Structure 1
Amino acid sequence: MTEDETRRAEPEPAIAASGGAKAELGLRIVSALLLGSVSVALAWAGTLPFAALVLAVTLILSWEWAHVVRGDGIDLALGIQFAAAIGAIGLAAFGFAALGVALLLIGTIIVLALEFGERPILSAAGVLYAGLPAVALIWLRSNEPMGFYAVLFILLVVAATDTAAYFAGRSIGGPRLAPSISPKKTWSGLLGGISAAGLTAGAFASSVGAPVLPLAVAGVAMGLVAQTGDLAESALKRAFHLKDASGLLPGHGGFMDRVDGLVPVAVLLALVLLFLDPKAPADALFSGLFPAQR
């Protein structure tokens, strides 16, 4: 039996030792702070530095998706996904986000047509899973001068959701949210997460002079979407009998485990802003999202 097969077959321990839990929490905090600091710094530096970071994360996400879904490190499908991601991110970075999305769709169709793995639809979905949020974030960042604040807003709301959900679930406990998918998640964690998301969004709106109530409501919605993305990623891993997408991030597992909430939030928020103002999505975000507030 290979090391990967052994890892898939190993059952998860029911209760972690307190010392191990504290060590894991410490690793989670340190790795989250480092990744968050680098992300904010490069987003502040400009669209191209931020796009370089997004590209690196997207390639890692693509590899992790292939590892989870097909159990392969590198194969032709991953090569196609890499090519689609690099092309799409390059196009988005230079102002052609729509063409970037089109390229991702082409890559998805090619991977689906070639039927890689036992579940070819999931193999093809990986192209969009890794690529769409990348294009969305770069598209938002490129809207100067508010693009940086739009990216920062998303990162802070998602981070607040994850952090509050983790600590509320651990400290309050109570009924399980979806025990068949993720046994540790609770309703108290969900409520804590979306509450923190709304408060963070409202506070951020106040700090930049944007309408507080609409953005606070948007923050709650983003918190719900982030938690849904977390559950969806947990369901995917459970379907393949995996605890983590990889071991690249200490305390978190893999990058998929770290950005599972960010992925759907970035895509869905970008779709909303696309309909409000495709030429200036970040401006639309801080106008309050709703036409009546603008």
Structure 2
Amino acid sequence: MARFRPHGAGGGAVGICAPSSAVRRPVNAPLPPRSDLPVRAAVGAVLIALAALALWVGDWLFWIILSAVSLLMMAEWSGLAHASARNTRIAQFTICVPLAIMAPKWIAAGPGFFALGLIFGAMFFVAIVTRRQILAVGAVYVVLPVLALLWLRAQPDGLLLAFWSMALVWACDIGAYFAGRNLGGPKLAPRVSPNKTWSGLLGGVVGAALLGAILYRFGLPLHLAIASPFLAVVAQAGDLYESWLKRRAGVKDSGTLLPGHGGFLDRLDGLVPVAPIAALLVFLPEVIR
């Protein structure tokens, strides 16, 4: 069965685009001191600006940034799995195949199912060559949301749809942060993530619901607006899942590439499960009609 090995079971991963592996600090380490907040805020502002620019421009810029992030996430996943540098490179090079098929000229031609097949083909290839099933799972984990976001952006209302799928996660995070900080209350999953509370979960749901209502006024389909609060629960489940992975690996952060934030897996843990489901919610009504 695929599982993460505890810290000390093997060497950290160092692959292409992977200057560092997971940060091995105590899982229950205290929150960053307030002196780190300016750095955290600055990095967050840069990330938001870069994401907004890529989303607005779309096309090749959106694909390049998402592909680069996917490779970095694969390196961080390998670090959590304590994979060797060789196996990390194999996993990264393998996911380059479906990423290449997702390039704008191909996505516009509609080979989404072909790319989807290549993702799972990459999963089996990585599992066979590296003999590490967890790396195969990681290949799907980091590439599937990229395919979903690229497909959403390529739709006639792609800017709105892709923005909705990304922004509802941000709205969920903001709502969860302020509700959890101001209301506190019972812990949501103390053994997995001690800082998360039920009030934070509800705050995230409210934040996503408000975003869905606002975007509905700008043309977001009604069924997507209604789905927004439910996707907030999915986003927080993704957050908990990544926290569980880090706890199993014995680390606090998935990486150090983003000062004050950890790694890309830390920042995108909610978007990873939301993007594919959001794409399905857009795709299925078109098929049913």
TM-score by length of 2: 0.85
**Is 2:47 aligned against 1:35?**
yes
Verify the 8 A CA contact 1:80 1:107 in the aligned structure 2.
Answer: no
Aligned with 1:237 (options 246, 252, 262) = 246
1:172-224 per-residue CA deviation (whole Å, 9 max, x = no partner) reads: 11110000100110001111011101101110111x13455x33321101111
Equivalents in 2 of 1:66, 1:3: separation in Å? 10
Partner secondary structure for residue 8 of structure 1 = coil
Verify the 8 A CA contact 1:62 1:81 in the aligned structure 2.
Answer: yes
Equivalents in 2 of 1:272, 1:84: separation in Å? 28
Q: Percent identity?
A: 35
Q: Which runs of 5+ in 2 are unaligned?
A: 1-7, 13-20
Verify the 8 A CA contact 1:92 1:135 in the aligned structure 2.
Answer: yes
- How far apart are 1:108 and its partner, in Å? 0.5
Equivalents in 2 of 1:239, 1:172: separation in Å? 29
- How far apart are 1:164 and its partner, in Å? 1.6
User: Taking CA–CA contacts closer than 8 Å with sequence separation of 6 or more, which of the two structures ends up with the larger relative contact order?
Assistant: 2
CA RMSD of aligned residues (A): 2.5
Q: Which runs of 4+ in 1 moved over 4 A?
A: 1-7
1:16-69 per-residue CA deviation (whole Å, 9 max, x = no partner) reads: 5xxx53234433332222112111211211222100110110010011011111
- How far apart are 1:263 and its partner, in Å? 0.5
Q: Give the 5 Å matches for 1:36-185.
A: 36-72=48-84, 74-75=85-86, 77-93=87-103, 94-95=106-107, 96-116=111-131, 120-144=132-156, 146-185=157-196
- How far apart are 1:121 and its partner, in Å? 2.4
1:234-277 per-residue CA deviation (whole Å, 9 max, x = no partner) reads: 00000011100001112211000000000000011222333222
Q: Give the 5 Å matches for 1:249-264.
A: 249-264=258-273
Give the letter for the 2:166 counterpart.
Answer: L
**Is 2:237 aligned against 1:225?**
no
Equivalents in 1 of 2:77, 2:43: separation in Å? 21
Aligned with 1:189 (options 185, 200, 208) = 200
Tell me the equivalent position of 1:12. 28
Task: Provide the aligned length of Structure 1 versus Structure 2.
Answer: 268
Verify the 8 A CA contact 1:133 1:263 in the aligned structure 2.
Answer: yes
* Deviation larger for 154-163 or 231-240: 154-163
Residues 277 and 79 (structure 1 numbering): CA distance in 2 closer, same or farther, change over 3 Å?
farther
Equivalents in 1 of 2:143, 2:152: separation in Å? 14
Residues 8 and 154 (structure 1 numbering): CA distance in 2 closer, same or farther, change over 3 Å?
same
Q: Which runs of 5+ in 1 are unaligned?
A: 279-290
TM-score by length of 1: 0.83
Residues 49 and 115 (structure 1 numbering): CA distance in 2 closer, same or farther, change over 3 Å?
closer
Equivalents in 1 of 2:120, 2:141: separation in Å? 11
